[in-house]
Chains A and B, each alone.
Chain A
């Protein structure tokens, strides 16, 4: 009786800790390639982390234009809400995959924006670890 209860409790709790949408095949291949690269850079690497990704996303940095900026400056601290390009005022659709099913589906698009936006905020390309962490963060919302 005890054993069955334990198993039931675990099965119930599992979804709470591990919410994330599944990536499509192309995106999964890309994520796997990032994992390979992250592992190559550091043998301690286990997996990407959405909480690390959240820190990268919200941290302020002196950006490309010489002013303080973060990813959330345009994309909002709350990924389920609209963002706004702070230079042009253009409304940005929510990043959260739960709201916007198009997000994190097109690898070419994802690679382009990761490249551009890391440069905007951090004035350099993101490392494989940083990219993976940020993708996990967006995917968790």
Chain B
């Protein structure tokens, strides 16, 4: 009986309190939002940020990322359903979301206070090198970013090596 209880607790807690961010499983999102850059997980920003971003795709950080109405709607629905404020069972989503003040509507993941805090020790030298270029290039160093895993254990920085914090 006790064994079953322990197992049930472990299984339940791994569902209810997951590490990282929920990975992207939406094909349209991967295709449309992952063709020019890494497909950032929906759980990295709150709903209000996604609404703001998706409202101005013609000027998406200097690029035209406009979509037809139907696709745009599908993507907004997906993002809103999986935004950080809906994903508190995921550790990174919870931490990202809690660090943003209620009045703030960041559209850059790199401007979220929790993100800034976690990258504060990463030097300009590391960031500006050709293999990385910017902090928005997650997969340059986070080897399991595609899985929603941003743990230290899986960081390998180009021309630098493992990251020990």
Contact = CB atoms under 8 A, between A and B. Distances in A.
A65 B37 contact: no
Given A65-B62, A116-B64, A119-B64, A90 B36 contact: yes
A116 B68 CA distance: 13
Contacts of B64: 64, 116, 119-120
A43 interface: no
Interface residues of A, number: 10
B62 A90 contact: no
B56 interface: no
B119 interface: no
A88 B137 contact: yes
Contact of A89 (B35, B63, B65, B133): B133
A90 B133 CA distance: 11
A85 interface: yes
A88 B62 contact: no
A64 B65 CA distance: 13
A89 B36 contact: no
Nearest to B132: A89
Interface in A67-126: 85, 87-90, 116, 119-120
B62 A64 contact: yes
Contacts of A90: 35-38
Contacts of A65: 62
Contact of B37 (A64, A88, A116, A119): A88
Interface string B123-165: 0000000011110110010000000000000000000000000
A131 B137 CA distance: 31
15 contacts: A64-B62, A64-B64, A65-B62, A85-B36, A85-B37, A87-B63, A88-B37, A88-B136, A88-B137, A89-B133, A90-B35, A90-B36, A90-B37, A119-B64, A120-B64
Interface of B: 35-38, 62-65, 131-134, 136-137, 140
Interface of A: 64-65, 85, 87-90, 116, 119-120
